[in-house]
């Protein structure tokens, strides 16, 4: 635990305060390696952004610039990495991410690896090198090192049919902060690519929800409209992605073009 002196200092990661107060965090997945896009999104009322280094064309240099572009805004930058090994988290955390999302967290061992990857010893396997993280968060190196374990989020993603019998064990992993349900990859793993609304996929999602709700972790998912968001909030979700940067651009253009004369 952090010291009493540190507890009197406002949190670096405001998502923890939001959840402690019973609120729901809303965010977007960023796939475009663009500082300018991030600047717009960071001042658009969102709570968090997941910078996508798994599927987006985003390298560490672009990710650093995008994280830095959230400085001075309420937005909390997280990063989605492409693998479950601890080394995947090193660069995102050291350049200022306040949480890491790991794909295919299907077993208890996967979730334990997620936790170890974002915590310094003795609790984990993260080693020293946060050259730019303290600069993003406006604290000294010493303060960052003292507080990082309590501020950084360990996030696992349930997105495979293989996790149907183990989701509860994943969600019960000590130190895991959030479990997100990924409908796209889940549908793909079930042989139903692009069919997240298929009854079998929805049944699997319901199973995941039930397993996660029985634990203390935050339940996260994707809600592409307000009706879906309200329903998911009632089912216990406390973190909702409202879309991708590219999809929000498309939706905005479609709305602007609607009714335009030929």
Tokens of 101: 């999302």
In the predicted structure, residue 132 carries a pLDDT above the cut 70: yes
Across 154-160, average pLDDT = 98
Which pTM was predicted? 0.94
Query: SS3 sequence, the chain?
Result: CCCHHHHCCCCCCHHHHHHHCCCCEEEEEECCCCHHHHHHHHCCCCCEEEEECCCCCCCHHHHHHHHHHCCCCCCEEEEECCCCCCHHHHHHHHCCCCEEEECCCCCHHHHHHHHHHHCCCCCCCCCCCCCCHHHHHCCCHHHHHHHHHHHCEEEEEECCHHHCCCHHHHHCCCCCCEEEECHHHHHHHCCCCCCCCCHHHHHHHHHHHHHHHCCCCEEEEECCCHHHHHHHHHCCCCEEEEEEHHHHHHHHHHHHHCCCCC
In this predicted structure, the answer to whether residue 8 has a pLDDT above a threshold of 80 is: no
Question: For residue 42, what pLDDT is reported?
Answer: 97
- Tell me whether residue 28 is in a domain: yes
Query: What is the per-residue pLDDT for 4?
Result: 43
Amino acid 9: pLDDT: 63
What is the per-residue pLDDT across 91-122, written as a single tens digit (0 to 9) for each?
999 999 999 999 999 999 999 999 999 999 99
The token duo for 113 is 């690896």
Split into its structural domains, the chain has a count of 1
| Selected catalytic residue, list 55, 64, 88, 198 | 55
Q: Is 64 a catalytic residue?
A: no
Q: Identify the CATH number of the domain in which residue 80 sits.
A: 3.20.20.60
Tell me how long the chain is. 262
Is the model more confident about 84 or about 75? 75
Residue 169, domain member (yes or no): no
For 198-226, write each residue's pLDDT tens digit: 999 999 999 999 999 989 999 999 999 99
Q: Answer whether residue 191 is part of any domain.
A: no
pLDDT at 71: 96
Q: Report the candidate in 83, 119, 116 with the shortest Cα–Cα distance to residue 101.
A: 83
- Is the Cβ–Cβ distance between 212 and 194 less than 8 Å? no
In a domain, 253, yes or no: no
First to last CA, the chain: 63
Query: What's the pLDDT at 185?
Result: 96
In a domain, 185, yes or no: no
Does 251 fall in a domain?
no
Give the model's confidence band at 85: pLDDT under 50 very low, under 70 low, under 90 confident, else very high: confident
Mean of the pLDDT values across residues 123-148?
96
Percent of the residues in the chain that have a pLDDT greater than 90, as a whole number:
94
Kindly state whether residue 85 falls inside one of the protein's structural domains.
Answer: yes
Domain of 149 in residue numbering reads as 4-157+221-246
């Amino acid at each position: 635990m952090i010291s009493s002196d540190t507890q009197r200092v406002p949190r670096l990661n405001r998502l923890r305060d939001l959840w402690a107060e019973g609120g729901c965090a809303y965010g977007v997945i960023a796939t475009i390696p663009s500082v300018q896009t991030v600047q717009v999104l960071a001042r658009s009322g969102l709570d968090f952004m997941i910078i996508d280094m798994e599927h987006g064309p985003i390298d560490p240099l672009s990710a650093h610039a995008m994280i830095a572009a959230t400085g001075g805004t309420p937005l909390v930058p997280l990063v989605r990495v492409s693998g479950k090994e601890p080394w995947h988290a090193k660069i995102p955390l050291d350049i200022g991410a306040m949480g890491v999302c790991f794909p295919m967290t299907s077993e208890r061992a996967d979730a334990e690896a997620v936790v170890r990857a974002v915590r310094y010893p003795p609790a984990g396997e993260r080693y020293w090198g946060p050259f730019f993280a303290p600069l993003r968060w406006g604290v000294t190196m010493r303060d960052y090192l003292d507080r990082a374990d309590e501020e950084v989020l360990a996030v696992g993603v349930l997105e495979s049919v293989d996790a149907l019998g183990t989701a509860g064990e994943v969600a019960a992993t000590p130190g895991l902060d959030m479990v997100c349900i990924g409908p796209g990859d889940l549908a793909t793993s079930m042989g139903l690519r692009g069919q997240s609304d298929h009854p079998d996929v929805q049944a699997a999602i319901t199973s995941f929800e039930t397993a996660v709700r029985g634990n203390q972790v935050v339940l996260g998912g994707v809600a592409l409209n307000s009706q879906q968001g309200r329903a998911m909030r009632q089912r216990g979700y406390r973190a909702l992605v409202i879309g991708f940067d590219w999809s929000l651009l498309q939706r905005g253009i479609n709305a602007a073009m609607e009714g335009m004369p030929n």
